[in-house]
Amino acid sequence: MRIASWNVNSINARLETVLRWFEEAKPDVACLQEIKCVDEKFPAEALERLGYNVAVHGQKTYNGVALVSKTPLEDVRRGLPGDETDEQARYIEALVSGPTPVRVASIYLPNGNPAGTEKFTYKLAWMERLNAHARDLLAYEEPLALMGDYNVIPEPRDAAHPENWVDDALFRPESRAAFRALKWLGLTEAFMAIDGAPESYTFWDYQAGAWQRNNGIRIDHALLSPQAADKLRSCVIHRDVRGWDKPSDHVPIVVDLDL
């Protein structure tokens, strides 16, 4: 099973690029983030023509997440539990049907900048809620993939110039500690388990020639339960997509499981 994650930075603005990638990469499941549209504006028909089922948790102009799957999506959950007042569309989860069902979540974790503000407090509280929910999901002892844009640079090696990120919410010690705590629940970070090559980034800013100079950061991650990690065959960052026409500032990360 091929499970992908991609922050598309507006699905409708980059639809041709997204469809080209789907046709080339042929994921069984894709977790999309920052779709930037309400549910009814999501281009479901274009993906359905490629043979996919779609579940969307959208929001006007901002945020928004979606799951796209070749097999039916069951037990769909929209929104991260733990705060009924949270109106930001940042989490969608479903059970992907098949011979071995897999529970998959698309995560768009808050940016949190500037650090020291309510936005940073919201980010850390959101991560606490994610930790609590992940703990509940792990109790099912089933294949689980928590995929998405975590907006966390885990280690200095995950930035071309870590010194430039010291005061940024993505690299603050609190954010990194919360990410480690999530992994310590028993989750495997797929890329580090299978590859971990230096200068492997998933995001390059549009400004100051960041892409051309490979001034990137690794903030898109795939965390797997033991039942999924045991079946991990590969984890690849589709770096070349950043050089396509009308690219997102993120690129897909793709996990292959022997399921």
108 is catalytic: yes
Catalytic residue among 28, 52, 91, 149: 149
Catalytic residue among 91, 108, 150, 201: 108
Task: List Cβ neighbours of 195 (8 Å cut-off, separation of 6 or more).
Answer: 235, 236
Taken in order 168, 169, 173, 175, the sign of the CA dihedral is negative
Reading the block at residue 83, the tokens are 């705060």
Reading the block at residue 61, the tokens are 């102009």
62 is catalytic: no
Please identify every residue annotated as catalytic. 108, 149
